[in-house]
Every structure is written in C-alpha cells, then in structure tokens.
Amino acid sequence: MRTARTEHAKRPIPPLDAAALERLALRYVERFATTRGRLADYLRRKVRERGWEGPAADPPALAQRMADLGYVDDLAYAEAKATAMGRRGLGGRRVALALRQAHVGATDAEEIAPMVADRAIESALTFARRRRLGPFGGVAIDRALREKQIGAMLRAGHGFDLSRRIVDSEREIGPDDLM
C-alpha cells in the first residue's frame, strides 16, 4: 500500500534571488571562518546549482559587503590558519599554499609571513617529533630512510637546509640548537 508520503514527489527548489543569496551568505559566515574569495566562490556555486531570478547576481560584491560589516576578515582568517598549521608542524610553503587556496590576498599573506618565518624552527621540530623523524625516531638512520624523512619534511613545507639539519642530528635537539 502506498502512502501519500511515498507518492509525493519532491518539490523543486526555487531559484535564488537577492534576499535568498544574502541569507545563504549570512548562514555561511555564521558557520565557518572564511575569506571573501571563498565566500564568493560558495555563492557562485549556489547560483549555478539553483539558478537565479531577478537582476544579475554579484557574489563578489556580496562577499565584500559581508567583509565591510565585519563578518569576514581575511587577515584574521590568515593568522588563525597559519597559527593552526604551525602548531601541526607544517612549514611556510604549505601555509602559503593553503592561504592562496583560501583566496587570501597577497597583502594579507605578506603581513603574516614574518610570523610564519619566526615559527619555522618550532614548527619543523614539532613535525619531526610528531612523525618521529631523525633523532626523535629512536632508530639508526640509513641513507634511504634519511632521504625519505627529508622528503617528508620538504612535503610538509619546510626548507631543505632546516630539514637536513634536523634529520641529521644525532641527539634530540631544541630550537636553540638550530639557531
């Protein structure tokens, strides 16, 4: 026996208008820390998925308006993202890549670059400890393992010289040993 619920077809979702797009933007910035670029990408995707009704949609302008209202702050997002990635042990190149992918502007990325550079040694040591690389692994390192460990540090965004110095160290080291 079929019920009304199983026979009822899903209603099509109506196309977006300016008010609905603004509600989507507010809901998005309420739930997620984001950048103007990411918010504009999200809004463009929603317009593409659901269609548009009314005058032409302008997601970048709406994203800028959200930034003007203080709901979106690219610099604060970049600082928080860089700090979190540094705590995880990721290096400057990985941080820069993540910020580019999040559409953080060049001026904001340049503003936090000194902070990332200041924490480079600490984040490299955090990564080495977490992954048990070099002196933190407790095993003798042959050439193949050494190359593999240096490669892991390079993929994590650390510089070659710093990675080599950490992996080649014969004892557990701290930031002062690498200065």
User: pLDDT at position 4, please?
Assistant: 56
- How many residues does this entry show for the chain? 179
Residue 52 phi/psi, 5-degree rounding, is -135, 140
User: pLDDT at position 8, please?
Assistant: 63
User: pLDDT at position 102, please?
Assistant: 96
- CA–CA distance, 154 with 142 (Å, rounded to integer): 18
How many CB atoms sit inside 10 A of residue 173's CB? 17
Domain ranges, ordered by start, for the chain: 18-72, 75-178
Q: What is each CA distance from 132 to 13, 24, 96, 123, 146, in whole angstroms?
A: 51, 44, 25, 14, 12
- pLDDT digit string (tens) for the chain, length 179 residues: 555 555 567 888 889 999 999 999 999 999 999 999 999 999 999 999 999 988 888 999 999 999 999 999 999 999 999 999 999 999 999 999 999 999 999 999 999 999 999 999 999 999 999 999 989 988 888 999 999 999 999 999 999 999 999 999 888 887 777 77
User: pLDDT at position 141, please?
Assistant: 84
